[in-house]
Structure 1
């Protein structure tokens, strides 16, 4: 057991605080990881705002890379000294998805059983079962994915959530392959990762759509061939015009509001695919669309969970591509900050000033 510093959200909408946190020794199947870097993700802000659940206080942070310090009984996949990216899909191997050979949809992922606590003994709820705005965290060992230690932590950790979600939405969920046309609506961190993933897969036309010219410039730097500022034009018509009048083969909604989902629905070519990867508000509803349009358009309407990734397969592969210079993870790191700067980073995120602020520990 040890006491370290970490960032906690105590109540809905209240500023986060830097607290003393007790981290227990790892039990069976668990690991303690020394965190080196952790990205500030919009999901952390969702937790602080009560948009995930009301199980306060939360230990925030989940896009992290670090070094395994200690492991509990029965752990064989990692050992002390291993360099890992943390994930929130610790595949169980035994649920109905795993048994049918689809572990990327695992319905029973593992988290640590032991609880990290505040100094008064109050149990913390770690964000996405991780909690990584902290010097050391306790996770299930299967939440640790070994990767090449040559990858710098600030970049590698981003695979833990947002970058993997966007890349996977394009490649895994959307099935983007060579020559396909892609439109991405919303060019924050996840949307730009979808653009990078589309470029990596060899897509032909890659259209970035956003209201903010700064975000569209980020998208161009990551592989967008065309940009559309939808504040002044109809994005559906613009996407059709850029795809020979047909619409895109794959449209990715990285915003997650009814208006953008509807735009994505109509911006597809016949038999095209719409992927929802932006996290909707719990009150959001699918907009009213004539059922004949659903039938007549064909294709697929999908949602992407964590980029439908399999961490043990995808993280090492993407780190290798990063080290080969084929995937620019460094481009997603807008700034490196201290652990006490998370609240300010939330404000910058809210105003669209950064792709990712990354806490360095």
Structure 2
């Protein structure tokens, strides 16, 4: 079978032939119909997180059950499904409460274990395979590009009232879903980006206010449309400048959720010039139950999923475009 294998920063990503895997006890073999391309893949290829190589990348998968290992009797071959990629050890306290993705990042699909940029992928536990009738090309990005923003917005929603303001920074592959979930909270949604087309998309997806950061600072724009500043901010970029801009735009007891892995940091200290008693936290993917929620919303037609299908032949070039910001919504590998 074909697989996109990362051989380290020097050799990079190579599409090559490898043996088709077979499922062991409790495992499921998925015939991959689609796998999303993610900015986090680029971080792996840049060596930001050292992983064993060669490694098949890809953690946003949808397809059909091809075979099951001993002990799996509830998934029939041919079942359409998505794969939850935040694999955990399965037996620690975090996993047993349903937050497998918080167990150990080195267990995740496409990082600690071979992922789904391939014709087939073995899923280590059948609980990570969720049946769905959604078109697999649209379903694949839901497993991360939609799931992670869903978790971020859900965490923010616990501290929001309909009269509050939620700031979304970065309207890319994840931010586009962040705007949609934010609009479902009933709060005022403010979306910020430097790309006019992405801001127009944000408005179409439910943003009440958009900020072109090339024309106006996030802080001044937010202060213009609120009394005290934003009540919560979700940063899908994660660079020093965007994190600081979010902090400056927050009001009293505002909350900052860091999703983007742009390498930035936010210093939380006494500063009388910004909101007092701020809270800052990061967001790691989402849970299996939250993925079920996302699938329910998609099946109900409540999500706008924009995808660009690409084949193995265009895979490396598409990652180059992704790094240059030249992918409008979400690129998805569709094996020919």
TM-score (norm 1): 0.83
Q: 1:326 aligns with which of 302, 308, 313?
A: 302
Q: CA separation of 1:353/1:173 partners in 2, compared to 1, >3 Å: closer, same or farther? A: same
Is contact 1:147–1:319 with CA below 8 Å preserved after alignment? no
Paired with 1:108 and 1:79, the residues of 2 have a C-alpha distance of 30
Structure 1 residue 143, shift from structure 2 partner:
6.0
Q: CA separation of 1:153/1:247 partners in 2, compared to 1, >3 Å: closer, same or farther? A: same
Please list the CA deviations of residues 317-361 of structure 1 after superposition, one character each: whole Å capped at 9, or x if unmatched.
3222222221222xx31x111122111211221222222111112
Structure 1 residue 206, shift from structure 2 partner:
0.9
Q: 1:53 aligns with which of 47, 50, 54?
A: 50
Is contact 2:248–2:274 with CA below 8 Å preserved after alignment? no
Report the equivalent of 2:68.
71
Paired with 1:138 and 1:13, the residues of 2 have a C-alpha distance of 27
Paired with 2:42 and 2:16, the residues of 1 have a C-alpha distance of 18
Report the equivalent of 2:208.
225
RMSD of aligned residue pairs (Cα, Å): 2.7
Q: 3-state SS of the aligned residue for 2:85?
A: coil
Report the equivalent of 2:140.
157
Work out whether 1:301 is the aligned partner of 2:280: yes
Paired with 2:64 and 2:256, the residues of 1 have a C-alpha distance of 38
Report the equivalent of 1:251.
233
Please list the CA deviations of residues 107-138 of structure 1 after superposition, one character each: whole Å capped at 9, or x if unmatched.
258959xxxxxxxxxxxx93363511111111
Q: 3-state SS of the aligned residue for 1:22?
A: coil
Report the equivalent of 1:17.
14
Please list the CA deviations of residues 247-306 of structure 1 after superposition, one character each: whole Å capped at 9, or x if unmatched.
11110111111221121112112112110011143xx4434x543559971242111110
Report the equivalent of 1:357.
331
Q: CA separation of 1:292/1:229 partners in 2, compared to 1, >3 Å: closer, same or farther? A: closer
Is contact 2:28–2:125 with CA below 8 Å preserved after alignment? yes
Paired with 2:291 and 2:196, the residues of 1 have a C-alpha distance of 31
- After superposition, where does 1:156-175 map in structure 2 within 5 Å? 156-172=139-155, 175=158
Structure 1 residue 172, shift from structure 2 partner:
3.3
Structure 2 gap ranges (5+): none
TM-score (norm 2): 0.89
Structure 1 residue 46, shift from structure 2 partner:
1.4
- After superposition, where does 1:201-240 map in structure 2 within 5 Å? 201-203=185-187, 205-240=188-223
Q: CA separation of 1:60/1:91 partners in 2, compared to 1, >3 Å: closer, same or farther? A: closer
Structure 1 residue 179, shift from structure 2 partner:
4.1
Q: 3-state SS of the aligned residue for 1:291?
A: coil
Q: 2:178 aligns with which of 194, 199, 203?
A: 194
Report the equivalent of 2:103.
107
Please list the CA deviations of residues 152-181 of structure 1 after superposition, one character each: whole Å capped at 9, or x if unmatched.
111111122122112221123553564431
Work out whether 1:310 is the aligned partner of 2:292: no
Q: CA separation of 1:104/1:173 partners in 2, compared to 1, >3 Å: closer, same or farther? A: farther
Structure 1 residue 96, shift from structure 2 partner:
2.8
Please list the CA deviations of residues 53-98 of structure 1 after superposition, one character each: whole Å capped at 9, or x if unmatched.
1422221211110111112122356443322211223465642335
Structure 1 gap ranges (5+): 113-124
Please list the CA deviations of residues 162-208 of structure 1 after superposition, one character each: whole Å capped at 9, or x if unmatched.
221122211235535644311111111112211111012322x2111
